[in-house]
Structure formats: C-alpha cells, structure tokens
Structure 1
Amino acid sequence: MLPSLLLLFLSIPLTTVTAASAAPRCTTSTPIKTYQKCMNLPTQGASLAWTYHPHNATLDLAFSGTFISPSGWVAWGLNPDSPAMTGTRALVAFSDPSSGGLLLLPFILDPGVKLQRSPLVSRPLDLPLLSSSAMLRSDSSVRDGAGLHIFATLRLSPNRTRINHVWNHGLYVQGYSPTIHPTSPSDLASRATIDVLSKATEMGPAVPSWFRTAHGVLNAASWGFLLPVGVTVARYLRQCTSVRPTWFYGHAAVQIVGFLLGTVGFSMGIIMGRASPGVTYTLHRGLGVAAFVTGGLQAAALLFRPKTTNRYRKYWKSYHHFVGYGCVVLGVVNVFQGFEVMGLGGSYWKLGYCLALSTLIGVCVALEANAWVVFCRRAEEEKVRREGRVEEHQVVKASIGI
C-alpha cells in the first residue's frame, strides 16, 4: 500500500508540470492595442497585460479569461484595501439576456455577496475608471471555453503602483445578476497583489494541486486525531496497573508520530502561504501557529521532565496537562476551520473526520464512565479497609483493657 501511495505522489508533480508547460503564455498584443508588460496568472488559465504611464499615473490593462458555461460570466476587478473578494470593484462580462451580445457591467462586491442574500445589482464604481470594454478573443458567441478580453483604463494614486486585483468566472447569470462562482481551491485563490511599475508580483511559485490535499490530510490525521488519541491513552490506560509502564511508551509514541506529521503539515501550510501571499486566512493561520507552538512546548517539556521524587514534579504535571489539552483543542478546532477554507464544509471528507472524531469521543465517554466506576469502587474499598482497621484497633484496645 505504502509503495503505491509513494508512486502516486511522485507521479502527480510530473503531471502538474506537464500541464503547466502546456498552458498558453501571456501576450502583450491584443486586437485593440499592444502593451508593455504581461504575466500569466496562477489560476484559471488567465493572464494580465498592461502599460503604466508614470507621467499621469494612468494604467491601461487587458485581462484575458475564459468562460466555463454558455450562460456564465467572467470578471476582473480591483480591491482598494486587500486582495480579497469582499470589497472588490469588478467588471463582469456575460451574454446579454435580451440581445445575446457581450455585455460588460460594473459591480461592487459588498460582504453580503458571500451569503447571496439578494441578487447582485450593477452600480457605478467609486474608482477613477476612465474607460472599459470587453470582447471575445476568437469566438462569435459566449460558450464553454470561449476566451475573453476585458480592457480598462484607470488612474492610480501618485506614487502608488501596487494594486490588489481579483479575477474569477461563474456558471450562471440570473437576469443581469451573476451568481456565486465555484469554490474549488483554484477559484478561491484567484487574487493577488502586483506592482505594475516593476512587474513584481506577490504570487510566489505555484504549488502542485495535490499539495493542498496532502496538507489537509496530514493535519487532520495528526493535530485532529492522533494527538487526541495520545491524550486518551495517557488519561485512561495509566489507571490500569496491568499495562504499566506500557501506557507511557504508547502515549509517547503516538504523540511523537502525531507531532512529526503535524510539523510536516504545518510546513506545507507555510510553503503554500509563501506561494500565495495575496491569499490570507487569518483565523486558520493563527490557530495553526498556536497549535504548533503549544505542541513544540510539549515536546520541549520532555527534556525537562523531573523525576517522580522531585518536589517540582507536581508543577510540571499541571503544565503538561493544561498545555496538552490546549494543543488538542486548538488542533481540532483548526481542522474544522481548514475544511471551511478548502470549501469542504459539506463534503464527505468532513463527514468521515466527524465520524472518526465522534467514535473517539464515544470511547472517551465510555472510558470516563468506567474510570468513575473504578474510582468509586476503590474509594468504597478504601473506606471499608479504614473502618476495618478502626474496628481492629478498638478490639485490640479492648483486649488489653485500655
């Protein structure tokens, strides 16, 4: 099984590289004008060409995208604040429901867009947009796979040449209102920050498509499952005198394997973050860093573990317990946050993880109930022994006439 998985992972990057090399390169020439610079965007086969005029701080640009449905839409826009969908001032191209011709309308994407509370309504942009237009690259009508140019000329603020831009495409338009786009990883990552003067981009090298899945699987298996299993082993098996000190070695082995796998998953997350700095998941990143730091503190604590006879042992145990439980809670919460980031909130992946975690919780509940039964039984036995010793002591005192 393991050799097959290794062959699969080794073959996927080669496939990714081949597909990437086959993608069309960007071009500075368009049917309307020729631009000075261009770049391929990392998702959806899109590209951007532009000319920046420093003397009047104007930017001429041409975005090239692709329709994924005859009734779909293609959009490009700017976000004045950050490379994110919310707050983007977008130009959206789609087929006019009345005439069938190509139509380009401006939209402002407020926070309610994600919730689809109401249809998206076109309204003028609050940007210094001097002109805009759209045209199909070679097709006479909108269809699946049809290429598109969106042209725009806008004025930038003096001495500010960095822009946050967002692009995407969707399947349907209801009347004159584009519906929500697909939520695959590439669609969610279609945003970046570039410097139009130096052509410096904050995209970073693209990572293989399997990288994100491997990151999620490793983190769910380590932070979200193995570390809670290690805590369960330590909490319940150490009460069994028949498995001492086996419980300790089992606990340490599970935790070490979980932390090592979690470190690999955490490192993959850092690599993906550097490859797409325009894409920021603040909560997911913060929880991941916190879980990794607490896990590292737990690993470091093993080096300073005092002996059982040391007077500081009880303080070390309290630290070990609280930090360990905190690490587990952070890891599990971040796994669920990761499902939302990957757009898998209602997927079978999340269902499978919930079933595995629920099974572990059920085992913990059963073991906790058993531990209380054993505790109460031992307390009762200890009470009987104490009463027996008291009665025996009274008999002895009576026998010697005290």
Structure 2
Amino acid sequence: MQQSVSRENFDQWMVPSYAPATFVPVRAEGSTLWDQDNKNYIDFAGGIAVNALGHAHPELQQALQQQAARLWHTGNGYTNEPILRLAKQLIDATFAERVFFCNSGAEANEAALKLARKYAHDHYGPHKSGIVAFNNAFHGRTLFTVSAGGQPAYSKDFAPLPGAIEHAVFNDLDSAARLINDETCAVIVEPIQGEGGVVPAEPAFLRGLRALCDQHNALLIFDEVQTGVGRTGSLYAYMHYGVTPDVLSTAKALGGGFPIGAMLTTEKLASSMGVGTHGTTYGGNPLAGAVAGKVIELINRPDVMDGVGLRHRWFIDGLNAINQRLHLFKEIRGLGLLIGCVLNEDYSGKAKQFNLAAAEQGLMVLIAGANVVRFAPALVISEQEVKEGLVRFERACEAVVKGASV
C-alpha cells in the first residue's frame, strides 16, 4: 500500500529550493489536470514549455511502453536504435549534421559551451576562450550555464564563477559589438528570452550577431531550449528568423515530458569532441529516444505548425479583450505559443499574485520575472480549453484588481 502524501510533506522532506503550488496534481489528459481533491485546472503552463503535445498523449504512451518492454538503458558504451533514429530525424529537419544527446537544457548548453572552447583551443589556441552572453538571459543552473545566464540573482551566491564570460544588452547590437573580438570563442543567445520576460530578438540583431561571429571566427550558439520543437510555429525559431547558428541546444518539448536534451551542430565542429572529451550516463538512452522520436514525428508537420499560429491568435485576441476591460498590461508579446503579458506600472512586481490567483480559479500559468505573466501551453491545446482557461484567467485578474483596490 502506497504511503499517503500531501503538499505539506514537501516542506518537511525536500530541499527548499522550490516553492511549489499549494495543490498536488495527480492525473492529467490533454491540457486539463486534476489535483488530490479532484479539482480541475486548465494548463497554460505546459510544464514550462515541455508538454508540447499535452498530457498523457496516447501515441507517446505507446512509444514509451513499447520501448520499456524491449530495452531501457545500457550506458554510453553502447548505442541503440531509437536514439540513432532520433538523431537522423533532427539532422533531416535542421541545419545539423551531428547530434549529442543529454538529459536537460542546462546539459545541452553546457555541451555547447564546452564545444565552443574546445574547438577554439584546437584551432586558434587557449587565448580564444571568451564567451559573450546577454543580460537577463537564462541558460540553465549548472555553474557554467548560470554564469552565462545574465541574471546575477541566480549566480551571485555560488562564486567564484567560471571566468571569461561577458554580458551585452539584448537586442542592442552595438553593445554586443563592443564585447565580441578575436578572443571570443562563442556568442550564446536565446531567439526569445524566456525567463527574462518573453522578449523576442529583433531580426536585425540576430543577423548582426551572425555577421560578428563570422568576422571574429566565433561560434554562434542559439539556446532553443524553450523556443524549440514548434513553440514559435517553426520547428526551431532560427527558421523563423532565417539566421542559422553554428550550434543549437534543445530540450524541454523535445521529449514531450520525458527528460531529454540535445546539442545540434555541424560535422566540422563536432570533430573537436573526440572520444572521452564529454559524456553523460543517461544521455541518449532508448526510452528518451523512443519518446522524442514520436514527438518530432507528431509535431514536425504543417498542420501542427499552422495550428500554433491559429492558437496564438486565440490567445492574443482573448488577452487583448481582457486587457481592454481591466487595463492590466502595457504589452502582450511573444511568438507562437510563448506569450508574455507585461504588467503596467499599477501592477509592477505583482506577476506572482496573478499566478496564485489563477491557481485559485483552476488555471496554471507561469511568470517570467516579477512583471510578466507567461503562457506556454500545449501546441495542440483545444479551442474549448483555451476559451475556458481565458475565462478563468479573467476571473483571476479581477480578483487581483479587487485585492489591489482594497
């Protein structure tokens, strides 16, 4: 008999690095979840842009169950069929010629940054080690990636940090140009800053970074952990912008909820990562490969990509209607189904209040900093779930407005 557990047990047993919601989800289907009390919630959070096909998708269940009956894990001393098929799917669908598999976005970015330094050291010498990143970026929680991320709140308590990392102003090409030079080995950038507030890059900014990297023999790394696998209406956001990176990191939606990450790159660059230079025990395991292969098969289709654009319009129209009535947001921005509502001055710093109020109304949303309410739902969320979720969001907004006016 299983032990009965509750939200209070988190505070008793877990390292207190999270502050999870007061309810505990126990089952889900599509974009609706139920908690321990059988209360239902519409999911506009998508597991932080992970559950691209919603919850308990039958074809993902089948892929996992079939693979679980065959082969679970062997370690990196062996390869396996599902991961090889997934590698070919990603190569066929992107600029990439080589793939490295891992377990998370942070690991994918760690691999990308290590590749950049290794390639530069191999071809130009140890002096070429500088990395340029951007303020308010988020690239993961390892010591290397949290240093590259431009949010000191996440890194300041873990000094001394890895060196030779500088931060420019996002969407400011002149700021980047002042830092990028012949000692720069890589520039890492999110096509849309997710945790930093759902801020899309300007096309000219990414084109300018590509030119600067070419000029200084630096690698351009796109962190597509949050924007990848259909989130913007293209399989990867670089396709939307028409700017091709040298290295791309992907995770989150790649497994549709099953942990997997990948670094995509070219054959020329991959050659620097010879046997023994990098590794991971679980990376590229058969279970992850089978599920992610089915995810790519189901998402990389014109009808799904077109559907992202349609759902974007459902959200934007609904959020604009709410804003016309309640006057909460000074901007609604983003691409595809990565959307941020920027709170106006009257509600500055209160994004968490909207998050908590939404949960009370049976809706799961995200925040992106203190001033942005973020939405990253399933790419296939139903029109009825969107409509009902927006009704619940409006009730949550009204509750915050009422509370603020008391």
TM-score (structure 2 length as normaliser): 0.23
The higher relative CO (CA closer than 8 Å, separation ≥ 6) is in 2
Structure ranking higher in helix proportion:
1
